[in-house]
Amino acid sequence: MGFFDRKRNLYEQQLHNKRLTIVVMAGFILFLGLLGFGFDMIMLDFFPMGTIIALALGAGTAMWSYNSGAVSVMRSTNAYPADPNNPDHRQLINVVDEMTIASGIPRPKIYIVPDKAPNAFATGKNPEDGYVAVTEGLLETLNREELQAVIAHEIAHIRNYDIRLMTIVAALVGAILLLAMMSRRMMWFGGGRRSGGGGRGGGGPVMIIVLVLWLIGIILAPIIANMMAMMVSRKREYLADATAAELTRNPNGLINALHKISGSFVKPKAIHRDAAHLCISDPFHLKREQRTGFMSDLFSTHPPINKRVEALRNMAYQYEQKQKKGEVGAG
């Protein structure tokens, strides 16, 4: 696991995450293609139909959530816009403004989620159309410095285009699940007819490999798709943490905030499972986030808190070293 655990500085971390994301996205497309292609090979006698349908389904759902995903997430959490005349909201708006200045993106729309569990998330199409939402619990729990760190993390998701990526990945997972379900249904219906017809049956070893891969594919699709999504998500969290530290020049703020958020025992009410992957800290797996280990690594949307804290401490240390040498000036 050396590849995943190596210590990286801020810029290496960003580069590494971007590369990995491309690999995972390619994996998704291949997987969708395989499901469709196998369907063609086994179920239908003409090649491109299933493949085209699979890829079109993926593209279609991705397009749909790209265009209206943010609004529907906001609606599902009952979020309301922040009010500049309320002192607490005013502070939030100020902090968001500070971070947009630091990152150089336009101010996102700011929403409050009526939920006592401390959490925050970002969504939207691109930096010009970004949304940041925090829960009421977050405003109550964190001090200004910690709030700033959390907002920096969310702004980082926006600036790094994670919001777009995560929306599309979620849609692709949905498409894969739907397709796998359809394939299984079709197999029960179509299976008999096919073995009776026999026309091109048993078309050589390539066919058998495709068949086996496809069968494994449709059976394991939900697990594999989720695992790939979680992988993208986790890497994005590390990257956003790194960017947040870069923006605030203060990794300790985020460390404290993460401890407070993950240490909260309040169960979220307004944030549903479909928005969980967007949150700064997985609202449904607080316990799991504090564990480390291979299995919990594979099935969490977020890396364990202590791994994130460790990465941040590493950055804090490097930053102090740099500052001593005078490489980081007035900032």
Partner 1 sequence: MGTIIAIAVAALLVLWVISRYNKLIRLRNQTTNGWKQIDVQLKRRHDLIPNLVNTVKGQMEFERETLESVIQARNSALNPKGVADAAEKENILTGALSKLFALVENYPQLRSNENVKQLQEELTSTENKIAFARQFYNDIATKFNTATQMFPGNIIANMFGFKAAELFEITVLTEREVPKVDLSFKKQK
- Give the footprint of partner 1 on this chain (CB under 8 A): 87, 90-91, 94-95, 97-99, 101-104, 141-145, 148, 247, 249-250, 260, 323, 326, 328-331
State yes or no: is 98 an active-site residue.
Answer: no
Measured from the CB of residue 94, what is the shortest distance to partner 1 in angstroms? 4
Closer by beta carbon to partner 1, 95 or else 175: 95
Q: How crowded is residue 80: how many other Cβ atoms within 10 Å of its Cβ?
A: 12
Q: Which residue has the tokens 């564990």?
A: 291
User: Cα 190–193–198 angle (5° rounding)?
Assistant: 120
User: Which amino acid makes up residue 199?
Assistant: G
Closer by beta carbon to partner 1, 199 or else 331: 331
Closer by beta carbon to partner 1, 193 or else 325: 325
Closer by beta carbon to partner 1, 155 or else 276: 155
CA 48, 68, 235, 29: dihedral to nearest 10 degrees? 0
Cα–Cα nearest to 250, from 327, 157, 148, 182:
148
* Furthest-apart CA atoms within the chain: distance in Å: 78
Measured from the CB of residue 39, what is the shortest distance to partner 1 in angstroms? 45
Cα–Cα nearest to 49, from 57, 41, 40, 58:
40
Measured from the CB of residue 311, what is the shortest distance to partner 1 in angstroms? 21
Mutual angle of helices 305-325 and 251-262, in 10-degree steps: 170
Distance CA 18, CA 165 (A): 11
Tokens of residue 314, six digits: 């590493």
Measured from the CB of residue 287, what is the shortest distance to partner 1 in angstroms? 23
Closer by beta carbon to partner 1, 99 or else 239: 99
The helix or strand, by DSSP H or E, that contains position 81, with its residue range, turns out to be: strand 80-81
Catalytic residue among 154, 237, 246, 289: 154
Measured from the CB of residue 257, what is the shortest distance to partner 1 in angstroms? 11
Do residues 231 and 24 lie in contact, with contact meaning Cβ atoms separated by under 8 Å? yes
Annotated active-site positions, please? 154
